[in-house]
Structure 1
Amino acid sequence: MTATLAATSAATETDAVVRMSGVRKVFGHGPRAVTALDGIDLAVAPGEFVCLLGASGCGKTTVLNMIAGLDRPSSGDIELTTTRPAVMFQEAALMPWLTAARNVELPLRLAGVKRTERRARTLELLDLVRLGGAGDKRPHELSGGMRQRVALARALASALQGNNGEASSLLLMDEPFSALDAITRDVLQGELLRVWEATGTAVVFVTHDVREAVRLGQRVVLLSSKPGRVVQQWSVADAPEAELTEEINGRLREVISSHAAA
């Protein structure tokens, strides 16, 4: 039997890089109002990799948007100990007129990092994502997987530049590999783990793929269907991958079935 974490995980007992307490989000007003999230409690420790899992429409992206400061909760509190969480989306969203290196360099330039330093850091990040020889290429010259690597390097430039590479940095990832073919997705999952281990960045990774969540995360957090609530959490180290995947799949099916029957 897999050991499951209580709703208040061990991360809440540390100096969390992000802590959400009783977060509720309602879109609209009056009879047409829709409650997307209802009482989310979530804490992520520095350097921790947390996968946020749930059916489509359960509020996973809304959670990321609020952590990133792109949206505000209707009630509840969100505390950050990092000043610059970075976001990586499903699409690479690169500037098509800029080279790969200039795309990575952009957040550093906007942050006022001196030219010599930002050029050096850009080269380091491109090397980190195994694109050291592709810095002068524009997005249309790169494959989908390569564009996502550039997007990852750019996100790391944003996440790490304010913290000198320390583990207090935070990277938010919204299904970044979902549009890729299975082989490319598998390769990039492995690359992401390598980069995460090398940088010590805390990661909140949104997915609806149980296998991906179990492969990548140290902790898997399952949200209920709308309105989203944390219904269960698992420590990935507590069981073999196949066994844990089967258990989480079963719990996810229960959540979806109970919502459909309501």
Structure 2
Amino acid sequence: MTTPDIAGVAEAIPHHTTPHAAESADAVRLTGVGKTFGRTDDVPVLQGVDLRIAAGEFVCVIGASGCGKSTLLTIIAGLEPASAGEVAVPAGRASLMFQDSALFPWLTAGRNVELALRLRGLPRAQRRTEAEELLALVRLHGAYDKRVHQLSGGMRQRVALARALAQGNRVLLMDEPFAALDAITRDALHGELTRIWRETGIAVLFVTHNVREAVRLGQRVILLSSRPGRIAREWSVDIPQPRRIEDTAVAELAREITADLHREISRHGDDH
């Protein structure tokens, strides 16, 4: 199979050869965003979150369990309304990818990808071709007819990524998508995700508990405070790509971020 034409796969994901360049347009813009579940006097999950993600930018979010990282993604995706503030996704709708691949086991890999293409309104005659090109993009050449039970965990996440890209959106939200994978598979998918991001120029907001993973992938790393979740600090990652998770520069920045994360967790414990 020939190398897929990225622009032909999905017009809404244009080829973008310089995702590191400064962008004037925001892909995502949050202003004073808050979220409270239950009574209005309950402790908010999120409070006063101001965040801008540029078109083509890769941003990672870390924080203690329960600080609102996943809630932040569901609000941006439009699955959950914010209780306060303004949410804007000027780039259009966002795709959301979870830790679980959430593939339909009775469908082949290709048919799982085609579901998103069908929802976009693509005619049947185009869907198979584009599904095969998207599978090729995530290095699953020839996997169209494979059933879910025939795929490894890493392969399933590649199919899930292809399906997310098939939605044709310029913003990809990822909620710990590699957390359940072994270290070798996770490292391979880090490289694949970085390559796909650079080739497509989509904006990525990636939630993780793994600080080294955040430094390995992101242009920026954002630390959410413990409940209520606010942006406590952010770091620019000026380490050139390609990066390896075991690189000295990655490890050094990860240690600095981890120290702040531990201080935040301790502060949260002291408050309670």
Residue 88 of structure 2 aligns to a residue in which SS? strand
Q: In structure 1, what is the Cα distance between the partners aligned to 2:208 and 2:168?
A: 20
Deviations 1:29-72 (A, max 9, x none): 155x2310010000100010000111111000000000000001
Amino acid at match of 1:17: A
Q: Is 1:135 aligned to 2:144, yes or no?
A: yes
**TM-score, with length taken from structure 2:** 0.86
- Which position in structure 2 is the counterpart of 1:118? 127
Which stretch shifts more, 104-113 or 212-221?
104-113
SS in 2 for 1:52: strand
Q: Deviations for 1:182-238, whole angstroms, at most 9, x for unmatched residues? A: 111111111111111111110000001100000000100110011100011111006
In 2, Cα distance between equivalents of 1:99 and 1:28: 40
2:202 match: 201
State whether residues 225 and 231 of structure 2, in contact with CA within 8 Å, keep that contact through their aligned partners in structure 1: yes
Residue of structure 1 equivalent to 2:225: 224
SS in 1 for 2:167: helix
Q: Which has the higher helix share?
A: 1
Instruction: Give the number of aligned pairs.
Output: 243
- Measured at CA, do residues 13 and 111 of structure 1 come closer, stay the same or move farther in structure 2, by a change above 3 Å? closer
Cα deviation, residue 159, structure 1: 3.5
Identical aligned residues as a percent: 60
Structure 2 contact 27–54 (Cα < 8 Å) conserved: yes
Structure 1 counterpart SS, 2:59: strand
Of 115, 137, 147, 1:106 maps to 115
Superimposed CA distance per residue, residues 124-179 of structure 1 (whole angstroms, 9 cap, x where no aligned partner): 1100111111110111111111000000000011134xxxxxxxx00000000001
Cα pair distance change 1:60/1:30, threshold 3 Å: closer
User: Which of 6, 9, 15 is the equivalent residue of 2:25?
Assistant: 15
- Structure 2 residue 35 is the aligned partner of structure 1 residue 25: yes
In structure 1, the residue matched to 2:155 is 146
State the distance in 2 between where 1:59 and 1:159 align. Answer: 27
CA contact (8 A) 2:57 2:219 kept: yes
Once residues 119 and 135 of structure 1 are traced to their aligned partners in structure 2, the CA distance between those partners, rounded to angstroms, is: 9
Residue 156 (structure 1) aligned to one of 148, 159, 165: 165
Task: Report the Cα distance in structure 1 between the residues aligned to 2:22 and 2:46, rounded to whole angstroms.
Answer: 20
Q: d(CA) in 2 for partners of 1:40 and 1:24?
A: 7
Within the alignment, does 1:210 sit opposite 2:219 as a pair?
A: no
Distance 2:192 2:22 in 1: 28
Structure 1 pair 238–133 and aligned structure 2 pair: CA distance change class (3 A): closer
Does 1:82 pair with 2:83?
Answer: no
- Given that 2:172 and 2:205 are in contact with CA atoms closer than 8 Å, whether structure 1 keeps it comes out as yes
Amino acid at match of 1:26: T
Distance 1:139 1:119 in 2: 17
**SS of match in other structure, 2:36:** strand
Runs of 4+ in structure 1 displaced over 6 angstroms?
none
Given that residues 43 and 227 in structure 2 are in contact (C-alpha distance below 8 angstroms), is that contact kept between their aligned partners in structure 1?
no
User: Which segment drifts farther, 12-21 or 240-249?
Assistant: 12-21
Could you tell me which runs of 5 or more consecutive residues in structure 1 were left unpaired when the two chains were aligned: 1-10, 161-168
Q: Deviation of residue 118 (structure 1)?
A: 2.2
Corresponding position of 2:15: none
Aligned-pair RMSD on alpha carbons?
Answer: 1.7
Please tell me whether the aligned partners of residues 98 and 177 of structure 2 are also in contact (alpha carbons under 8 angstroms). Answer: yes
What is the TM-score of this pair, normalised by structure 1?
Answer: 0.89
Deviation at 1:259, TM superposition (A): 0.6
Q: Do structure 1's residue 49 and structure 2's residue 58 form an aligned pair? A: yes
Partner residue, 2:6: none
Q: Retained in 2: the 8 A contact 1:159–1:170?
A: no
How many Å apart are 1:82 and its aligned residue?
A: 2.5
Unmatched segments (≥5 aa) in structure 2: 1-20, 241-248
Pair 30,71 (structure 1): closer, same or farther in 2 beyond 3 Å: closer
Q: Secondary structure at the match of 1:34?
A: coil
Aligned to 1:176: 177
Task: State the secondary structure of the residue aligned to 1:14.
Answer: coil
